[in-house]
Structure 1
Amino acid sequence: MYQNPDDRVMRDLLREAKTIAVFGISDNPSRPSYEVAEYIQSQGYEVVPINPRLDSVLGRKAYPNLLELEGPVDIVDVFRRSEEIPQVVDQVLQMKQKPKAVWIQLGIVNDEQCERLQQAGITAIQDACLKVEHFRLLGQKEA
């Protein structure tokens, strides 16, 4: 069974990250993906929305997939069902500039795909909310 990295690794990752792609973001403010993206944007991160059905979210241009990004991202925060994680990981592994980490949201577990990411040198975190962990590890900056 895949084990997430310890708090020190996650804290360092969050401190060093500047850009976070939110894969599966919604433009509905009541959806968790929107709420998390809004929070991380308020904490000073650049949010890059990934959703083929949207043109923009939170004032940022949305991209249909990870392969069409115009620049690098540090973390890919994934809001997709467990059975869709392999397709997301396929995209991550095809990116020209690989992210430092893939963060799979609370309630989603896919040990096999986390192992794939780890073998490619990419930190994998699963079954954890980026917003909750950011607040727990770093506290909240004033918006």
Structure 2
Amino acid sequence: MNHDSYERGYIADILKTTKTIALLGASPNPDRPSNGVMGFLLSKGYRVYPVNPGQAGKQILGQTVYARLADVPQPVDMVDVFRAAEYLDGVVEEALALDIPPKVIWGQLSVRDDKAAAKAEAAGIKVVMDRCPAIEYPRIA
């Protein structure tokens, strides 16, 4: 898939069918983008599981933080990635190792790795990169 642009329907379908999200790189700092996006997603009714090994066991926006994707207590529909692009391949590997992989891996603004995306797509996972669901959601709604 070409990740230079996305059809409106592709993004809309992801945002409408997603119910549970693992937010990788979640921060307790309200000044960090991951914190703001997490709050936005929670306000729209998504179930968000923050993932950050340095915050594991603590709470962010009232949600328990997990150290890694495998620790999240239920399968998630989407992994929202707030990590540098160089880590996206590792995130894909971690997602593929889950008993029930996510349906979507979403790389936040500036998070793009076409080889990692191809690996995820070959396994049947949809990929969005260099986009933010908190920006896309109002465009679709």
The TM-score range, normalised by the shorter chain, is over 0.9
Among 91, 98, 105, the residue aligned to 2:94: 91
Aligned residues: 138
Letter of the 2:16 counterpart: R
Letter of the 1:42 counterpart: S
Among 91, 102, 116, the residue aligned to 2:119: 116
Q: TM-score, normalised by structure 2?
A: 0.93
Q: TM-score, normalised by structure 1?
A: 0.92
Q: Distance in 2 between matches of 1:57 and 1:51?
A: 10
- Identity score, percent: 37
Alignment RMSD: 1.2
Q: Distance in 2 between matches of 1:101 and 1:5?
A: 14
What is the 5 A alignment of 1:32-71? 32-54=33-55, 55-71=58-74
Q: Deviations along 1:42-101, whole A, 9 cap, x unmatched? A: 001011000011122111111100011110111100000011111111101101111110
After TM superposition, which residue ranges in structure 1, 4 or more long, deviate above 2 angstroms?
A: 1-5
Structure 2 residue runs without a partner (length 5+): none
Residue 54 of structure 2 aligns to a residue in which SS? coil
What is the 5 A alignment of 1:5-16? 5-16=6-17
Q: Distance in 2 between matches of 1:83 and 1:2?
A: 19
